[in-house]
Structure 1
Amino acid sequence: MAGNGASDIDSLLISEFPLLPGLVYLNHAAVSPWPRRTAETVKRFAEENLREGASRYPEWLQTERLLRGQLAGLVNAPSIDDIALLKNTSEGLSFVAYGLDWRSGDNVVITAEEFPSNRIVWESLASRGVGLREARVSHVHDPESAILEATDRHTRLVSVSSVQYASGLRLDLGRLGTACRERGIAFCVDAIQGLGVFRHDVQAAQIDFLVADGHKWLLGPEGIAVFYCRPEWRERLKLHEYGWHMVEDMGDYARRDWRPAAGARRFECGSPNMLGIHALSASLSLLLELGPETVERRVLERTEHLFERIRAAPSLDLVTPTRSGRYAGIVSFRHRSVPNPVIHERLRKANVVCAERLGGIRFSPHCYTPLEQLETAVAIAAG
């Protein structure tokens, strides 16, 4: 599909996203609509449960394995054994936060603009004597330097979002990962606002832990997430959740001399979310059919189109950085004279689905969003 003409891709995407006429959906940084194939997969799975129960469970396990492979390919993990299927981003970050062997006086470095998922979990370690250092990266020419300058000899972990949820700032993961490895600091990435837009290569960027929900740019459902753990860290993370599913000899229910699974399945304590697994695998099949390069190119084209239109509107100010490599799918802006809640309500009444975040209006189109809808939305916001 990646080699097909633009008209073929557009036709496919029109078929996959039959949104209501008049609806302008610019909220993929919150919760995405499902592709048609995902909705149909869920319908088939529900019908199968209705008619046959779990009689095809071995086939469901094949879909689970397929999903692990899809996700491993998306992040360039060495093996599908490096991929765990969790409930959400917060669960994965909590596995890291409460799995590391902290010493009083250690600290964690994040950015000052992180979503609460990547802040609260580290703040919760204060009772263990672990400090939190926040680097301000908004309106900074070199955000990676600001992050690294916040580290010291007591820093055990740097945890950042690959794309900031409010400003849309994209970080150079390779630069951060290389610097952390050189300094003996673990590197954790909340990829929820970038995975599905651009590839996160955990090997090239020397990422130790990566976690992301499926319901944003991956176009999947809520309630299922990917967690990558570098093999060298797996046995070093202390486990706090136990059950039948996380043992090496899963299925040998009478065994008493159990041990945690050697792979990342050790982080999955109980029954898998089979409905979510089927749905997310279907959504990823579309992104992989299009090709990661095609998806990234089309999302960035839409981001750049919004930049042009917002710049051309005298009443609007861009918040998102526009330097190449510093943006992904999020575009945030403000009106020069009208409060954000008023603009957001105006957009809502006009059937433009978007978000108000940290003093700005956030548009987040995906690869299928028609360009003319972006122009309509900017015109409504500009008033």
Structure 2
Amino acid sequence: MINPSDEFPLAPGLCYLNHAAVAPWPRRAAEAVRRFAEENISLGARDYPAWLQVEKRLRERLQRLLNAPTSADVALVKNTSEALSFVAFGLDWREGDQVVISDEEFPSNRIVWEALKPRGVEVVQVNLGGSDPEGALLGACGPRTRLLSISSVQFASGLRLDLPRLGAGCRAKGVLLCVDAIQQLGAQPLDVQACDCAFAMADGHKWMLGPEGLGVFYCRSDLREQLTLHEYGWHMLEHAGDYDRSDWQPARSARRFECGSPNMLGAMALEASLSLLEEVGLPQVAALIEERVLQLQEGLQRMAGVQLHSPLNPARRAGILTFSLEGWDNQVLFSRLREQQVICAQRGKGIRLSPHFYTEPAVIEQSLTVLAQLRQG
């Protein structure tokens, strides 16, 4: 088992419960970047072929993380928003088409669809507050619905949806399923084949423990050529290394979505971070996160005046627990927790806590102690 203090030597007294926002890097990611920088200083790009092997391993790790059929099904992108834009402005929309989303989506998975209004596309927002959110989403998919775009885990409440059920329902209705997986990938296993996803995307800087500026875009192979391309360059060509070739075509693989030079610095870090998750194993990662969330839940439930805004059923959540405290303004409480070195976020109806697998139980107890002291005034 990984020694957390070896990979995550966080500052003494720091209670880091903010992995649903931006995660700390593991030591191995920092070391990979340090080696890459030193190599650039002393050798430049002499060993560029070796760098490409790291990028190849990254694609393979992302393929396994998503259970994509092949690494050719994944593209390396700047972020989730870019991948969503590839879908939104790549599909051949018709006047009157509908996109179904939830009413809890992070702006990335709302604005991109609302931007299609000039093309006559209608966005239908579905409330997830009932006992059957999947049923509500599928029930909103009518004959004009082209696509259902949903976060697998909602960023504010932490609600985790049943993706296989949504995939089967979409398939039966002839609707494409697009999954914003940023709050699940790296925290819980995700299988794009079992979910029958058309598209899935996520950034590397949250549960995958990588840097900002590099993410993954999965596009089902039969849909790649159906997405109109809007970015062109040397890297997205089928014969990318043949610089003298006058005829060209987009790559048959998902590399067609990567127009220019790769983020090699980010690849070094993210590949190292994913090696850690693979070493621990996603089932073990998910189990440890659930233990940490349960510890937080039980501690908060022992405090008077605490209201939980996240699902209590473990099958309905990943790594997010959101709460509010009676008599406290959320912004004030967030600021006071931060002053006490409890790093969290203000989201939705309260304060969002998001531990990772390596978070020590003592860190959670320390956070709960700080909160109890604040509650007592």
Structure-to-structure mapping, 1:1-383, within 5 angstroms:
8-9=1-2, 12-138=3-129, 140-382=130-372, 383=375
* Amino acid in the other structure paired with 2:122: G
Structure 2 spans left out of the alignment, 5+ residues = none
- Provide the rounded CA distance (Å) in 1 between the counterparts of 2:353 and 2:312: 15
Q: Give the superposition deviation at 1:371.
A: 1.3
> Residue deviations 1:131-150, cap 9 Å, x none?
00001113x21110111111
> Residue deviations 1:322-372, cap 9 Å, x none?
113101100000112211112111101101110001221000000011112
- Provide the rounded CA distance (Å) in 2 between the counterparts of 1:207 and 1:312: 40
Kept after mapping to 1: 8 A contact 2:290/2:314 = no
Runs of 4+ in 1 over 2 A off after TM superposition: 378-382
Q: Which moved more, 1:373-382 or 1:53-62?
A: 373-382
- Provide the rounded CA distance (Å) in 2 between the counterparts of 1:244 and 1:350: 50
Count matched residues: 373
Q: Residue 244 of structure 1 aligns to a residue in which SS?
A: coil
Q: Which moved more, 1:157-166 or 1:334-343?
A: 334-343
Kept after mapping to 2: 8 A contact 1:144/1:172 = yes
* Amino acid in the other structure paired with 1:171: L
Kept after mapping to 2: 8 A contact 1:99/1:237 = yes
Q: Give the superposition deviation at 1:380.
A: 2.4
> Residue deviations 1:140-187, cap 9 Å, x none?
211101111111100000000010000000000000011101111000
Q: Give the superposition deviation at 1:52.
A: 0.3
Kept after mapping to 1: 8 A contact 2:75/2:216 = yes
> Residue deviations 1:212-239, cap 9 Å, x none?
0000000000000000000010011110
Q: Residue 228 of structure 1 aligns to a residue in which SS?
A: strand
- Provide the rounded CA distance (Å) in 2 between the counterparts of 1:164 and 1:204: 20
> Residue deviations 1:256-290, cap 9 Å, x none?
21000000000000000000011000000000000
- Provide the rounded CA distance (Å) in 1 between the counterparts of 2:284 and 2:4: 12
Q: Give the superposition deviation at 1:255.
A: 1.1
* Amino acid in the other structure paired with 2:67: N
Cα root mean square deviation, aligned: 0.8
Kept after mapping to 2: 8 A contact 1:38/1:280 = yes
- Provide the rounded CA distance (Å) in 1 between the counterparts of 2:215 and 2:20: 15
- Provide the rounded CA distance (Å) in 2 between the counterparts of 1:341 and 1:71: 36
- Provide the rounded CA distance (Å) in 2 between the counterparts of 1:284 and 1:223: 15
Kept after mapping to 2: 8 A contact 1:346/1:380 = no
TM-score (norm 2): 0.98
* Amino acid in the other structure paired with 1:156: R
TM-score (norm 1): 0.96
Kept after mapping to 2: 8 A contact 1:244/1:250 = yes
Structure 1 spans left out of the alignment, 5+ residues = 1-7
- Provide the rounded CA distance (Å) in 2 between the counterparts of 1:64 and 1:349: 39
Kept after mapping to 2: 8 A contact 1:209/1:230 = yes
**Which residue matches 1:3?**
none
Q: Give the superposition deviation at 1:199.
A: 1.3
Q: Residue 110 of structure 2 aligns to a residue in which SS?
A: helix
Q: Give the superposition deviation at 1:307.
A: 1.1
- Provide the rounded CA distance (Å) in 1 between the counterparts of 2:268 and 2:335: 36
* Amino acid in the other structure paired with 2:360: P
